[in-house]
Chains A and B, each alone.
Chain A
């Protein structure tokens, strides 16, 4: 009898966090990773939204997979994702109006997040409910932890805050002449930070380096 959480299931969760990370290895979902990571709070909200949309969409598509005609499968996937995103958008507007305001168009753009469509097409269309759910969860977390890591660095050095709160020791630093780094707020630095993460990851695991 198969165990509830065997090796294969662990792999589904663990791979996207590390060696199959959607952002650093597959370089998907970059646009939102660069756009909304100036503040940690935004990154967290975005991560939660993507986790919800991805796990639900994968589960639903996985349930429907034997009933969807092959020729219209992309349309069905889009419909499912779009309605979930509309749901998330409304919930955010109702309960987190500030975050919703700041994330603005990027919540709507979750629909076009390549990771979601990619996992639906590559995994959920051919696998059972539970596996699809785990795969979606792993990928959403893989996307999320990069987002949070980048946002952490950018908010800490860019505005000297975390989650919008001042950091206790920083006032002494300011007196000593420390200044916030404006470049961290600008989009190019998000690319550099993601690039540095990719660099560290590939130098630790040289199997990931592409052949020329």
Chain B
């Protein structure tokens, strides 16, 4: 650390006023404040003082994402190796836990590099251009975006979606803290609608499925949606039911542990719950949003259970199972809790989370074209969050006005 400090101190004069590289001061500032606690003091207005600044907050979210990240890397390799047979290229007879992880690691690292490189480049460009500090928000988005993608997503698509998310999702509104929509979800929504063939079907969720015949993997949601889609035969339905029973591919146990195909970070509920525990313990993720969204999803699934026709597995799925498949959990813990785009008031957070949960399940079940209802639901609620806050605040003002009137009447 001392070494870093020395280097930073030595190059600092170049970036200060009259230095040759003064234009790039925001970039220097970003590195310095990332590595060391800054000694700036606030220049205007009244601020709440806290030892945890935005950069430190973001780092904790990254730490909370690590279980998902490691599990996702392992699962990538596991899904790939477990489908290989002797006549396939690159067949591995016996693969270990470590092999799977290493395979997934090398598959996933390029996604992270592209996401950070492109995203930070855009952020730096805006910071230099607008002469403000580089916003820290992208530290988390840059990790979240690759975690919501299928492992084989082409890198240029990823780069494009990152540019779209940072520019249209964030910088247009004025940068971190001003955005209406969650940037990570904006990236995912962009790529989902722009290149649907790369984001759905049974050829994208398992590594190299496109290049090697015989490897397929559909997400649980895709499987359920296809049932609604094609007017299935009764045999087909029984097969699908089997896949979701306790010894099927998408059993509750497999979905909970995460041994299923899917986006990199979303599959394992247990890894996500570890992340949730870190976020809740450190007070960075809102407990209100997480719990109310969970309850909203659960309640909606129960309601569907009651009205479900015999043949519709999507509706009659066990509510806990329903929440474990797809990216409901991932969205709940890491996307809905985004402090900028979520509701700000305490009551508002409860309402916001609850509606996120209800809408996620509703869209997922009733619109087979968009099986990933969580994404659409959270984006929609992001837009609604200021409205919820407005009514909560109005209600509070009215309540206090009434209280005042009562007091005046009494005295």
Known: A177-B154, A195-B172. A186 touches B195 (CB 8 A): no
Mask of A54-78 contacts with B, CB within 8 angstroms, 1/0: 0000000000000000000000000
Whether B190 lies near A183 (C-beta < 8 A) is yes
Question: Is B168 in contact with chain A by the CB < 8 A criterion?
Answer: yes
Whether A181 lies near B195 (C-beta < 8 A) is yes
Question: Is A199 in contact with chain B by the CB < 8 A criterion?
Answer: yes
Residues of A contacting B194 in the complex (Cβ-Cβ under 8 angstroms): 181-184
Residues of A contacting B193 in the complex (Cβ-Cβ under 8 angstroms): 182-183, 186
Residues of B contacting A195 in the complex (Cβ-Cβ under 8 angstroms): 168, 172
Docked CA distance A56–B190 (Å): 42
Mask of B155-180 contacts with A, CB within 8 angstroms, 1/0: 01100000000001000100000000
Question: Is B90 in contact with chain A by the CB < 8 A criterion?
Answer: no
Q: How far is the CB of B132 from chain A (nearest CB, A)?
A: 14
Question: Is B55 in contact with chain A by the CB < 8 A criterion?
Answer: no
Docked CA distance A179–B194 (Å): 9
Chain B contact residues, majority secondary structure: helix
Mask of A159-183 contacts with B, CB within 8 angstroms, 1/0: 0000000000000000001110111
Identity of the chain A residue whose Cβ is nearest the Cβ of B190 in the assembled complex = A183
Question: Is A79 in contact with chain B by the CB < 8 A criterion?
Answer: no
Whether A182 lies near B196 (C-beta < 8 A) is yes
Docked CA distance A130–B197 (Å): 55
Whether A199 lies near B156 (C-beta < 8 A) is no
Docked CA distance A195–B168 (Å): 9
Q: How far is the CB of B127 from chain A (nearest CB, A)?
A: 15
Question: Is A192 in contact with chain B by the CB < 8 A criterion?
Answer: yes
Question: Is B240 in contact with chain A by the CB < 8 A criterion?
Answer: no
Question: Is B12 in contact with chain A by the CB < 8 A criterion?
Answer: no
Residues of B contacting A183 in the complex (Cβ-Cβ under 8 angstroms): 190, 193-194
Whether A199 lies near B154 (C-beta < 8 A) is no
Q: How far is the CB of B92 from chain A (nearest CB, A)?
A: 27
Residues of A contacting B154 in the complex (Cβ-Cβ under 8 angstroms): 177
Identity of the chain A residue whose Cβ is nearest the Cβ of B171 in the assembled complex = A199
Identity of the chain A residue whose Cβ is nearest the Cβ of B192 in the assembled complex = A183
Name the residue in A181, A184, A199 with the highest tally of chain B Cβ atoms < 10 Å from its Cβ: A181
Docked CA distance A196–B169 (Å): 12
Docked CA distance A199–B173 (Å): 10
Q: How far is the CB of A31 from chain B (nearest CB, A)?
A: 21
Contact of B156 among A177, A182, A184 (CB under 8 A): A177
Whether A179 lies near B168 (C-beta < 8 A) is no
Residues of A contacting B172 in the complex (Cβ-Cβ under 8 angstroms): 195-196, 199
Q: How far is the CB of A179 from chain B (nearest CB, A)?
A: 6
Question: Is B198 in contact with chain A by the CB < 8 A criterion?
Answer: yes
Docked CA distance A182–B194 (Å): 4
Residues of B contacting A179 in the complex (Cβ-Cβ under 8 angstroms): 157, 195, 197-198
Q: How far is the CB of A56 from chain B (nearest CB, A)?
A: 39
Identity of the chain B residue whose Cβ is nearest the Cβ of A183 in the assembled complex = B194
Q: How far is the CB of B204 from chain A (nearest CB, A)?
A: 13
Residues of B contacting A178 in the complex (Cβ-Cβ under 8 angstroms): 156
Known: A177-B156, A183-B190. A192 touches B195 (CB 8 A): no
Identity of the chain B residue whose Cβ is nearest the Cβ of A199 in the assembled complex = B172
Name the residue in B193, B196, B198 with the highest tally of chain A Cβ atoms < 10 Å from its Cβ: B193
Q: How far is the CB of A184 from chain B (nearest CB, A)?
A: 8
Whether A192 lies near B168 (C-beta < 8 A) is yes
Whether B168 lies near A182 (C-beta < 8 A) is no
Identity of the chain B residue whose Cβ is nearest the Cβ of A177 in the assembled complex = B154
Docked CA distance A179–B168 (Å): 21
Name the residue in A177, A183, A192 with the highest tally of chain B Cβ atoms < 10 Å from its Cβ: A183
Identity of the chain A residue whose Cβ is nearest the Cβ of B197 in the assembled complex = A179
Mask of B1-18 contacts with A, CB within 8 angstroms, 1/0: 000000000000000000
Q: How far is the CB of B255 from chain A (nearest CB, A)?
A: 30
Docked CA distance A113–B211 (Å): 51
Docked CA distance A196–B197 (Å): 27
Docked CA distance A192–B169 (Å): 10
Docked CA distance A71–B193 (Å): 50
Residues of B contacting A192 in the complex (Cβ-Cβ under 8 angstroms): 168
Identity of the chain A residue whose Cβ is nearest the Cβ of B129 in the assembled complex = A203
Residues of A contacting B195 in the complex (Cβ-Cβ under 8 angstroms): 179, 181-182
Residues of A contacting B190 in the complex (Cβ-Cβ under 8 angstroms): 183
Contact residues, A114-169 vs B (CB, 8 A):
none
Docked CA distance A184–B156 (Å): 17
Residues of B contacting A182 in the complex (Cβ-Cβ under 8 angstroms): 193-196
Q: How far is the CB of B175 from chain A (nearest CB, A)?
A: 14
Docked CA distance A192–B194 (Å): 14
Q: How far is the CB of A19 from chain B (nearest CB, A)?
A: 21
Docked CA distance A192–B189 (Å): 14
Identity of the chain A residue whose Cβ is nearest the Cβ of B155 in the assembled complex = A177
Docked CA distance A52–B391 (Å): 48
Docked CA distance A196–B156 (Å): 22
Docked CA distance A179–B197 (Å): 10
State the B residues within 8 Å of A (CB): 154, 156-157, 168, 172, 190, 193-198
24 A-B pairs whose Cβ atoms sit less than 8 Å apart in the complex: A177-B154, A177-B156, A178-B156, A179-B157, A179-B195, A179-B197, A179-B198, A181-B194, A181-B195, A182-B193, A182-B194, A182-B195, A182-B196, A183-B190, A183-B193, A183-B194, A184-B194, A186-B193, A192-B168, A195-B168, A195-B172, A196-B168, A196-B172, A199-B172
State the A residues within 8 Å of B (CB): 177-179, 181-184, 186, 192, 195-196, 199
Of all A-B residue pairs in the complex, the 9 with the closest CB atoms, nearest first, are A183-B194, A183-B193, A181-B194, A182-B194, A179-B195, A177-B154, A192-B168, A199-B172, A182-B196
| Given A177-B156, A181-B195, A195-B168, 5 additional A-B pairs, CB 8 A | A177-B154, A183-B194, A186-B193, A195-B172, A199-B172
